[in-house]
Amino acid sequence: MIDAPSPNFDDRRRPVSIIVIHYTGMPTAEGALAWLRDPESRVSCHYFIAEDGTAFRLVDEAQRAWHAGAGSWRDVTDDVNSASIGIELVNPGHEYGYRPFPDEQILALIALMRGIVARHAIRPAMVIGHSDLAPTRKEDPGELFPWEWLAREGLAMSRPAPGPDPGWTDAGADMALAHYGYGMVDPRAARVAFQRRFRPERLDGQWDAQCRAILLGLLRAAPR
């Protein structure tokens, strides 16, 4: 772990209960790291992991880094920054050439997350992507992020095994999605975020039997 302090932090207002995973979404790792440490940017994160697995600590976990922005997840309906630890993964993102995350990077992430989860007793359902808490604004870490690898390590929710279609109407499925944790300011954006996380092979923002069955399995596995 390399210390690379950022001045962009302040005091937490609530205990840590969430991990938010981001991609940097910038052309270069060097530019992204510099931006997260620039006082004029007003953004930061707690940890930054390069594609070769090199990890940097920018903000102490006891402090509130500025990474999440407006959004919500489950019972944290405002100031997600105060309740979360933000981890940035170097990846140019959808705008600059989105690509798979190297194994070295994910192995470093897993090692880092094991410690964070142990220190703060974070449940798998509270390990999310930036797009989960801010569906109308964000796409990261995106459909190429290997969530199932984290799930096998007990660090994130796994996609449920195929199960029955509950047959909800679209309105009923939207209500179930809100109950699972997604903000529903824009229902279609929330559906796409859900698909990006749990059914990345098709991101059409439409309810179908597979999506409804996945959501039912998640609600059973991680009730509110």
| CATH 3.40.80.10 segments of the chain | 13-152
Catalytic residue among 61, 88, 95, 143: 88
Instruction: Tell me the C-alpha distance between 6 and 67, whole Å.
Output: 12
Q: How far is CA 195 from the centre of its chain?
A: 13
Three-state DSSP string of 120-188: HCCCHHHEEEHHHHCCCCCCCCCCCCCHHHHHHCCCCCCCCCCCCCCCCCHHHHHHHHHHHCCCCCCHH
**45-91 residue pLDDT tens:** 999 999 999 999 999 999 999 999 999 999 999 999 999 999 999 99
Active site residue 95: no
pTM beyond cutoff 0.75: yes
Instruction: Tell me the C-alpha distance between 208 and 199, whole Å.
Output: 11
Instruction: Tell me the C-alpha distance between 204 and 73, whole Å.
Output: 22
**140-160 residue pLDDT tens:** 999 999 999 999 999 999 999
The domain covering 13-152 belongs, at the CATH homologous superfamily level, to: Peptidoglycan recognition protein-like (3.40.80.10)
